[in-house]
C-alpha cells in the first residue's frame, strides 16, 4: 500500500491528458513499424523507440562518479545485454533479480529484460541471508544482479536453498562476472539496427514484481504486466502539460524495489528527462550534494525522508529552490512537514495523493484537491466504499468504509501466491484496498486509516494516524509513530514512539497531556511514551510498523 499526499502551494491547476496524447503518438509510431496493435503497451518496444528518437539526450548521471549515459549509450548497452540474455538462454517469463544501489547499468539490465518479456524483480539490497533465501525461493530467478559487496551473502543464500543461479555484479569483482564482462562475453550478435524485441501479449505478459506487504504480514510480490504499467504509470504525470521533457532533471532517491524508482527508470527514456542517481549509499549529506550540484527539478520520496532533509538543523546546507515538482509517497504528511516545505521549496508544486502497488499508480486524482482530501475519482477506475464487516456498499457521504477498486491497471495477482491473490480480489474482480476512507457529497475522498493498523481498546477503535496528528503538533516533536502493546483485558494499549527535535527536552507527561486534551478517553496513551533517536524504517523509508511493535515490548515506556 502506498499513500501519496499532494500539497498545492502555488496556484490552482487541473489534471491534463497531455501525457496520454504524447504516449498515443509514440505508440502509434511503434505499431506502424511492427504492425502489431498491442505493441502500444509493449514496454520494451516503447523504450527502444524512445532511445532511438533522441540519441544525444543525456538519460542518466551517476552523481557518485559523474558517469553519464546518453540515449545512444543506453540503446547500445541494452541491446548488447538483451543479446547476452538470449545467449545464456533466458526467455519470456524467466525472472532476473536486481538488488543494488542505482548504478547506471542497473537500468540497462531492466530495459534489456523488458525487450524480451523477462520479468524484473527489484529486491532490497540490505536484506540478510535468511531474508534473501525466502526472497529467492519466491521469485525463482535465473540471474541475480547485485553489487560485489553483497555477492558472498547472495551466494550463501543460494547454497542454503540449493539453487544454482548466475550472479552478475554491477561493479568489478574477483569472484563473479561483472556487468561489463557479461555483455562483452555474451552480448555480441545482432546490431542495434538488426535487433528485434520479442513479440508478446502486453495484457498477459508480466514485466515487474513489486514487493508489498501492506502494514503487516509476510512480503508478497505484486505481479504487474506491461499493460498495467503503461496504463497506470502515466497518471503520475497528469499534473504536466509539456511533452516530451515535462521536467529537465529528476533525482532518484528511491531504491530499485520501490515502484517510484520504476516510474523514474522506465519513464525517463519514454518522456525524455535526465535521471540524477547514485551508486553510493544515499545519506542526507550525499543527497544534499546531489541536489546542490545537479539542480534537479523533480523528486519523488517518502515523507519520512523529506522530514529528514528539511530538518531545521541541517536544511541550510541544501538549496531546494531548483525543484518545480515534489511528490511525497508512502505515508501521511504532517502539518509540520508542510510548513517546513513552504520555507524551503518556494518554486515547487508539492503534490498529495493516494495509490496502491496493486493498481500501479494513483488511485485518485491528486491535482487541485479539496483541502484535507486525498483526491477525487479518476475516470479509468470504478469505486466502492464497503462496510468491512458486512461487505455492504456505503452509499451515503461521510461514512467510513474500505475502498474497493476496479480498473484496467489492476494487477495480475501476487506472484506464486494464489491464496493472497484470492484474499485481495473479490470473485467479480474488485480489489480490496485494505484502507479505510470516506467521501463527501462531492466525491472528495478522505483517508482515515489502514484497516490492519487500527488498534482496538475495549471494543473501541484507535487510529494511530489520528493520535500521531495530535502529537506532531507539539513544537518539540520531530517525528512520531503510534503502535500498540497487547493486553489480555483491554486488547491494545496505545504507545507513542517520539523522536524529539534536536536540542529539545520534552517529557512523556507533556505528550500524554496533549493527547488527553485533544482526544477521547478511549484513545489515550495507556501503553506509555517511548523517546527514540529515530523511528525504524523499511528500505523504502516508511515506518516499519512490524518492527515497531517488537521494539515497544522491549524498551522502557514512560
Residue 402 lies in a domain: yes
Does residue 193 share a domain with residue 162?
Answer: yes
Residue 154 lies in a domain: yes
Residue count of the chain, please give it: 558
The dihedral through the CA atoms of 107, 111, 114, 116 has a sign that is negative
pLDDT of residue 459: 63
pLDDT of residue 12: 54
| CB atoms near residue 16 (< 10 Å) | 17
Does residue 443 share a domain with residue 381?
Answer: yes
Domain CATH code at residue 515: 3.30.300.30
Does residue 147 share a domain with residue 31?
Answer: yes
Using DSSP, state whether 259 is helix, strand or coil.
helix
Residue 504 lies in a domain: yes
Residue 292 lies in a domain: no
Residue 9 lies in a domain: no
Q: What is the DSSP string of 470-538?
A: HHTTSTTEEEEEEEEEEETTTEEEEEEEEEEPTT----HHHHHHHHHHHS-GGGS-TTEEEE-SS--B-
Does residue 407 share a domain with residue 473?
Answer: no
Which residue segment(s) compose the domain that 413 sits in? 372-450
Does residue 445 share a domain with residue 460?
Answer: no
Are the C-beta atoms of residues 293 and 265 closer than 8 Å to each other? no
pLDDT of residue 502: 84
pLDDT of residue 547: 84
Report, as ranges of residue numbers, the positions in the chain whose pLDDT lies below 50: 1-11, 214-217
Burial 232-243 (b: 16+ CB within 10 A, else e): bbbbbbbbbeeb
C-alpha of 301 from chain center: 8
The dihedral through the CA atoms of 147, 150, 152, 153 has a sign that is negative
Does residue 536 share a domain with residue 392?
Answer: no
Does residue 441 share a domain with residue 493?
Answer: no
Using alpha carbons, select from 257, 290, 258, 255 the residue that is nearest to residue 274: 290
Residue 39 lies in a domain: yes
Does residue 520 share a domain with residue 414?
Answer: no
Give 29: exposed, middle or buried? Use CB within 10 Å, 0-12, 13-18, 19+: middle
Domain count, the chain: 3
Last residue of a domain, one of 433, 450, 467: 450
E-only strand ranges, 131-203: 143-146, 166-169, 177-178
Residue 392 lies in a domain: yes
Last residue of a domain, one of 203, 234, 265: 234
Does residue 536 share a domain with residue 416?
Answer: no
Are the C-beta atoms of residues 406 and 438 closer than 8 Å to each other? no
The two beta strands, 166-169 and 177-178, are parallel
Q: What is the DSSP string of 61-103?
A: EETTT--EEEHHHHHHHHHHHHHHHHHTT--TT-EEEEESS--
Q: Please identify which residue in the block is written with the cell numbers 529537465.
A: 248
Are the C-beta atoms of residues 390 and 396 closer than 8 Å to each other? no
Does residue 439 share a domain with residue 468?
Answer: no
Q: What is the DSSP string of 384-445?
A: EEE-TTT--B--STT--EEEEEE-TT---EETT-HHHHHHHB-TTS-EEEEEEEEE-TT--E
Helix (H) or strand (E) holding 3: strand 2-5
Q: Which letter does DSSP use for residue 292 in this model?
A: H
Percent of the chain with pLDDT over 90: 68
How far is Cα 344 from Cα 208, in angstroms, rounded to an integer?
A: 36
Are the C-beta atoms of residues 428 and 400 closer than 8 Å to each other? no
Does residue 413 share a domain with residue 515?
Answer: no
Using alpha carbons, select from 76, 78, 60 the residue that is nearest to residue 68: 60
Does residue 155 share a domain with residue 137?
Answer: yes
Q: Give the long-range contacts of residues 410-413, CB within 8 A, separation 24 or more.
A: 410/228, 410/358, 410/359, 411/222, 411/223, 411/224, 411/225, 411/228, 411/357, 411/358, 411/359, 411/360, 412/204, 412/206, 412/223, 412/224, 412/225, 412/228, 413/223
Residue 481 lies in a domain: yes
Last residue of a domain, one of 420, 450, 480: 450
Q: Please identify which residue in the block is written with the cell numbers 535465473.
A: 142
Q: What is the DSSP string of 190-227?
A: S-TTT--PPP--TTT-EEEEEEE--SSSS-EEEEEEHH
Amino acid at each position: 500500500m502506498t499513500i501519496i499526499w499532494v500539497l498545492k502551494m502555488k496556484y490552482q491547476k487541473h489534471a491534463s491528458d497531455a501525457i496520454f496524447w504524447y504516449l498515443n503518438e509514440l505508440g502509434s509510431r511503434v505499431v506502424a513499424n511492427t504492425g502489431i496493435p498491442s505493441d502500444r503497451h509493449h514496454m520494451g518496444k516503447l523504450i527502444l523507440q524512445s532511445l532511438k528518437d533522441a540519441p544525444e539526450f543525456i538519460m542518466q548521471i551517476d552523481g557518485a562518479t559523474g558517469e553519464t549515459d546518453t540515449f545512444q549509450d543506453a540503446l547500445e548497452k541494452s541491446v548488447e545485454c538483451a543479446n547476452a540474455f538470449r545467449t545464456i538462454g533466458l526467455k519470456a517469463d524467466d525472472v532476473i533479480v536486481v538488488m543494488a544501489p542505482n548504478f547506471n547499468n542497473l537500468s540497462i539490465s531492466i530495459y534489456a529484460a523488458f525487450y524480451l518479456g523477462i520479468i524484473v524483480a527489484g529486491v532490497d539490497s540490505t536484506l540478510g541471508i535468511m531474508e534473501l533465501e525466502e526472497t529467492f525461493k519466491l521469485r525463482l530467478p535465473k540471474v541475480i544482479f547485485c553489487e560485489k559487496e553483497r555477492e558472498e551473502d547472495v551466494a550463501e543464500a543460494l547454497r542454503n536453498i540449493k539453487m544454482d543461479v548466475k550472479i552478475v555484479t554491477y561493479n568489478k569483482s574477483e569472484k563473479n562476472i561483472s556487468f561489463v564482462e557479461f555483455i562483452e562475453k555474451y552480448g555480441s550478435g545482432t546490431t542495434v539496427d538488426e535487433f528485434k524485441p520479442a513479440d508478446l501479449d502486453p495484457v498477459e505478459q508480466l514485466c515487474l514484481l513489486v514487493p508489498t506487504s501492506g502494514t503487516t504480514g509476510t512480503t508478497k510480490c505484486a505481479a504487474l504486466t506491461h499493460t498495467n504499467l503503461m496504463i497506470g504509470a502515466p497518471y503520475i504525470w497528469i499534473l504536466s502539460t509539456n511533452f516530451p521533457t515535462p521536467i529537465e532533471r529528476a533525482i532518484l532517491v528511491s531504491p530499485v524495489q520501490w515502484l517510484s524508482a520504476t516510474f523514474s527508470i522506465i519513464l525517463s527514456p519514454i518522456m525524455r528527462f535526465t535521471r540524477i542517481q547514485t551508486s553510493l549509499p544515499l545519506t542526507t549529506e550525499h543527497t544534499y550534494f546531489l541536489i546542490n550540484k545537479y539542480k534537479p527539478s523533480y523528486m519523488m520520496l517518502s515523507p519520512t525522508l523529506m522530514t529528514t532533509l528539511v530538518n531545521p538543523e541541517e536544511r541550510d546546507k541544501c538549496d531546494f529552490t531548483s525543484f518545480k515538482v515534489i511528490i511525497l509517497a508512502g505515508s501521511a504528511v504532517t502539518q509540520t512537514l508542510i510548513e517546513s516545505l513552504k520555507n524551503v521549496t518556494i518554486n515547487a508544486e508539492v503534490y498529495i495523493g493516494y495509490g496502491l502497488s496493486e493498481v500501479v499508480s494513483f488511485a485518485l486524482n491528486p491535482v487541485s484537491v479539496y483541502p484535507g482530501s486525498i483526491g477525487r475519482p479518476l475516470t479509468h477506475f470504478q469505486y466502492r466504499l464497503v462496510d468491512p464487516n458486512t461487505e455492504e456498499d456505503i452509499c451515503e457521504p461521510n461514512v467510513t468504509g474500505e475502498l474497493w477498486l476496479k480498473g484496467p491497471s489492476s494487477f495480475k495477482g501476487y506472484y506464486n501466491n494464489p491464496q493472497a491473490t484470492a484474499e485481495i480480489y473479490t470473485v467479480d474482480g474488485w480489489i480490496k484496498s485494505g484502507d479505510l476512507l470516506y467521501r463527501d457529497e462531492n466525491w472528495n475522498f478522505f483517508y482515515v486509516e489502514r484497516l490492519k493498523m487500527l488498534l482496538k481498546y475495549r471494543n473501541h477503535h484507535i487510529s494511530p494516524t489520528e493520535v500521531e496528528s495530535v502529537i506532531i503538533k507539539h513544537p518539540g516533536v520531530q517525528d512520531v509513530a503510534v503502535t500498540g502493546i497487547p493486553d489480555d483485558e483491554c486488547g491494545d494499549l496505545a504507545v507513542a514512539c517520539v523522536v524529539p527535535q534536536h536540542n529539545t527536552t520534552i517529557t512523556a507527561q507533556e505528550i500524554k497531556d496533549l493527547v488527553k486534551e485533544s482526544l477521547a478517553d478511549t484513545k489515550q496513551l495507556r501503553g506509555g511514551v517511548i523517546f527514540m533517536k529515530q523511528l525504524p524504517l523499511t528500505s523504502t523509508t516508511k515506518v516499519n510498523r512490524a518492527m515497531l511493535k517488537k521494539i515497544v515490548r522491549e524498551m522502557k515506556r514512560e
